[in-house]
Every structure is written in C-alpha cells, then in structure tokens.
Amino acid sequence: MRLVSLRPDGGRHRTWLNAEPGRFGGWWIPPGTPVLDEGGTWSSPYPVAALAWPRAWFQVFVLLKADATDYYVNICTPPCLGADVVWIDLDLDVRVEGGRVWVADEDEFQVRSEAYPPAWRTAAQQTVRAVQDAATFGAHPFRPSFADALRAEWALRSRPGGTVLG
C-alpha cells in the first residue's frame, strides 16, 4: 500500500511507495523505501512507523533512528483509509527531536491557508496545540515505552524469516 499526501488543490505533495501493516495499528515504512515529492525522490535510512486515525487532523511518523527516536507530525485532514492511505497536507508540522517540540512551516501555512476552508484553518491551529501538549507530556504515541515496543517489533520483523504480519 502507499501513503499519499496531497496538496489542498489535489496535487501530489508526497507519496511513500511501500507501507506495510504493523501490529501497532499503523504501517511500517522500511528503510530505503522511495518517497516521491515535489522536489524529487528520497528515502530514509532507518525504519519509520506511520500512524493515522480516521477522525484525527494529524498523522505521526515515528522515526526510529539508530541513536534516537524522533517524531514528524503532519497536520492534515483526516485520512481516507482504503487501498492507500490518503490525506491533505495543511502545511503545519510538529517536530519532536532530541526532546524539543517545535512547529515547522508556519510561514507556508500563513500564505497558503487563506485558500483553505475556515474549518480547516481552525482545525489545523487547534491540532497543533493539542499535538504539542501530547508530545510535551509524553502521551501516546510520544511515550518512550511505545517507541521501545516499535523497535522490538521492527527487530522481529527484520530478522531473516521474522516477518511479523500486521
């Protein structure tokens, strides 16, 4: 399956070409998985766990780096879950790196959000505050024990013959 992030005008923002179901309720993006975006193609050298919920205005990438666990949270419309997982990116991102929680792309949001429906602007701004609070207080999925469980699942999954079905 693919994870597909669209721009509000329907244009492609980013597409992860291979996402595999995980036992944690989300999807694995294996290291080296091609990601198409507006600037070309790239990939991550580490496994990434992707989480999205049907009514949530955000989705979370848990970046399982060798020496740290970081989080990249896209503020977006609730996803459509089907053969692919598709959402509309609303420009704002919450980043959690080295214990620091910060908001990225506020300038893009200010410029582009004028064209968004008012409900989208309001939901995006409220969601940023809620995600910042969750990350600051270590609520799920920002809890260290959840990252530990993801690392354990990935270790099982990546062993020869150790594929874990979602």
Q: What is the residue extent of each domain of the chain? A: 3-156
- Please give the CATH topology (third level) of the domain spanning 3-156: FomD barrel-like fold (2.40.380)
CA-CA distance, 75 to 156, in Å (whole number)? 31
Q: What is each CA distance from 47 to 40, 50, 115, in whole angstroms?
A: 20, 10, 35
CA-CA distance, 164 to 89, in Å (whole number)? 30
Q: How, if at all, do strands 20-21 and 85-97 pair?
A: unpaired
CB 28 within 8 A of CB 18: no
Q: Residue 53 burial by CB count (10 A; 0-12/13-18/19+): exposed, middle or buried? A: middle
Q: What is the pLDDT of residue 47?
A: 98
Alpha helix ranges (H) inside the chain:
106-112, 118-137, 144-158
Computed over its alpha carbons, how large is the radius of gyration of the chain? 16
Q: Kindly report the pTM of this predicted structure.
A: 0.94
Q: What is the pLDDT of residue 160?
A: 77
Q: What is the pLDDT of residue 161?
A: 64
Low-confidence ranges of the chain (pLDDT < 70): 161-166
